[in-house]
Amino acid sequence: MKSERILRMIPSATVEINKTVSRLKAEGKDIIGLNVGEPDFDTPDFIIEAAVKAMKGGETRYTEVDGIMPLREAIAKKLKTDNNVSYSPNDIVVSVGAKQALNNAILSVCNPGDEVILPKPCWVSYVEIIKLADAVPVLVDTDPNTFQLDMGAIEKAISPKTRAVLINTPNNPTGAVYDEKSLRHLGELAVKNNFYIISDEVYEKLIYDGEKHVCVASLSPQIWEHTITINGFSKAYAMTGWRIGYSASPADVASSIRSLQGHTTSNITTFVQWAALAALNEPSNFIGDMCKAFSERRTYVVKRLRAMNGVKCADAKGAFYLMPDVSSYFGKTTPGGAKIANSVDFCKYLLEESLVSIVPGISFEAPDNVRISYSNSMDNLQKSMDRIEAALAKLA
């Protein structure tokens, strides 16, 4: 017997694909994974050393539910310095990854039947997080060429039931970086219509071509009151497996999040908090070096994809994803006689034919597209593009 909320939930496509890729690799297949949503860089040594030092120093016991004070103070300082937005340490709750912070936020502000507007394409977990809170996801389109916010579509979707708009900039899966004009407009709508903006900014450090990340909460005191900022350490510091994220929000929301987390996970792993503190406090060229590598890889993959017959690929300004349109291949027949009906079939064909794993766009509410992660070595990206190009040529 299962609860209705679990029966309504769709398993994470990216998690399921990771399982398949791991199994094929264990069978000896030379799979190149372009499906993984994490940096291929190792966590910097100084962060690892801080965790070891904390463990050896006895930092292995419970902490405050919302995190150790030195870390929350450092996060508040980071938000002020990097994002020009002021939060007190008590406005910050450190959680088990940004995913828990998102769940906390939605559960803390939404009642059953409340609506959450969600621009698409969108990360696979957003819809399910909203549904698990018994709220209703209201999907709206973005610009089909740039994936920028379509403010007309958002404004049209606002109703008396709208409780929040959930955005992600830089964006997974499209790589779009939302511009200040649109974000300011969104903030003004939130103030006018009294809803929250839940802003997932976990990719903020991974931005290219001189683009600027805008923290929504920094745009005005009134917008700050209507914003819950979500961030974490996974992407910027290559700490995906460490599972540490945080929310920053007005005091009443932070209090609700703190209470909720107190009855779920309580504090996150204690020595991981000290490692995160080192990540914020110790100067390092790590992020800049990683960004440079990602930018070079992005340029290469965009060029290769655009040269492939029938593939349309928008550029990306942040994160490490591309979202090419491959719908011209729908309806074609593979050399083995199978018909490619949709993005799932397309990805299955590439996995079988070229041993390259990517994610079907239908998982991101973008049925004509696929998601490609370029968080892989340049050598593997070159091999994968050659393999994909050869596989697509067999469908021509």
Q: Are residues 16 and 152 in the same domain?
A: no
Q: Are residues 252 and 341 in the same domain?
A: no
Q: With beta carbons less than 8 A apart as the criterion, state whether 228 and 249 touch.
A: yes
CATH number reported for the structural domain that contains residue 114 in this entry: 3.40.640.10
What pLDDT score was predicted for residue 13? Answer: 65
Q: Are residues 130 and 251 in the same domain?
A: yes
- Rounded to whole angstroms, the Cα distance separating 150 from 141 reads 7
Strands (E), 32-169: 32-33, 92-95, 115-120, 136-141, 162-168
Domain assignment present for residue 334? The answer is yes
Tally of domains within the chain = 2
- pLDDT confidence band for 276 (50 / 70 / 90): very high
- Rounded to whole angstroms, the Cα distance separating 159 from 370 reads 31
Q: Say if residue 9's pLDDT is above 90.
A: no
Q: Are residues 265 and 299 in the same domain?
A: no
Per the prediction, the chain carries an average pLDDT of 95
Helix (H, G, I), strand (E, B) or coil at 62: coil
Domain assignment present for residue 54? The answer is no
Q: Say if residue 341's pLDDT is above 80.
A: yes
The residues, ordered by sequence, that sit 6+ positions from 303 with a Cβ below 8 Å of its Cβ are none
Q: With beta carbons less than 8 A apart as the criterion, state whether 245 and 95 touch.
A: yes
Q: With beta carbons less than 8 A apart as the criterion, state whether 291 and 205 touch.
A: yes
Domain assignment present for residue 47? The answer is no
Q: State pTM to two decimals.
A: 0.94
Domain assignment present for residue 53? The answer is no
Higher per-residue pLDDT: 192 or 8: 192
The domain boundary residue, chosen from 255, 281, 307: 281
The residues, ordered by sequence, that sit 6+ positions from 194 with a Cβ below 8 Å of its Cβ are 226
Q: What are the b/e assignments for 10-19, b being 16+ CB within 10 Å?
A: eeebbeebbe
The domain boundary residue, chosen from 281, 313, 339: 281
Q: Say if residue 29's pLDDT is above 90.
A: no
Q: Are residues 12 and 33 in the same domain?
A: yes
Q: Say if residue 20's pLDDT is above 80.
A: no
Q: Are residues 191 and 295 in the same domain?
A: no
What pLDDT score was predicted for residue 65? Answer: 98
Q: Residue 11: which domain range?
A: 4-42+286-393
Q: Are residues 240 and 161 in the same domain?
A: yes
Q: Are residues 85 and 210 in the same domain?
A: yes
Residue range 376-391, pLDDT digits in tens: 999 999 999 999 999 9
Q: Are residues 339 and 249 in the same domain?
A: no
Closest CA to 135 of 157, 160, 107: 107
Q: Are residues 234 and 265 in the same domain?
A: yes
Measured over all CA atoms, what is the biggest interatomic distance in the chain, rounded to whole angstroms?
63
Q: Which residue has the tokens 């006018």?
A: 192
Q: What is the dihedral of CA 338, 340, 344, 346, to 10 degrees?
A: 100
Domain assignment present for residue 48? The answer is no
Residue range 160-194, pLDDT digits in tens: 999 999 999 999 999 999 999 999 999 999 999 99
Average pLDDT over residues 285-290: 95
- Rounded to whole angstroms, the Cα distance separating 381 from 355 reads 13
Q: With beta carbons less than 8 A apart as the criterion, state whether 35 and 17 touch.
A: yes
Domain assignment present for residue 50? The answer is no
Strands (E), the chain: 32-33, 92-95, 115-120, 136-141, 162-168, 196-200, 227-232, 245-248, 321-322, 356-357, 359-360, 370-373
- pLDDT confidence band for 133 (50 / 70 / 90): very high
What pLDDT score was predicted for residue 128? Answer: 95
CATH number reported for the structural domain that contains residue 292 in this entry: 3.90.1150.10
Q: Are residues 215 and 311 in the same domain?
A: no
Higher per-residue pLDDT: 16 or 134: 134
What pLDDT score was predicted for residue 22? Answer: 78
Domain assignment present for residue 207? The answer is yes
The domain boundary residue, chosen from 232, 257, 281: 281
What pLDDT score was predicted for residue 111? Answer: 97
Domain assignment present for residue 191? The answer is yes
- pLDDT confidence band for 14 (50 / 70 / 90): low
- Rounded to whole angstroms, the Cα distance separating 347 from 33 reads 12
Average pLDDT over residues 312-337: 96
Q: Say if residue 205's pLDDT is above 90.
A: yes
Q: Are residues 209 and 66 in the same domain?
A: yes
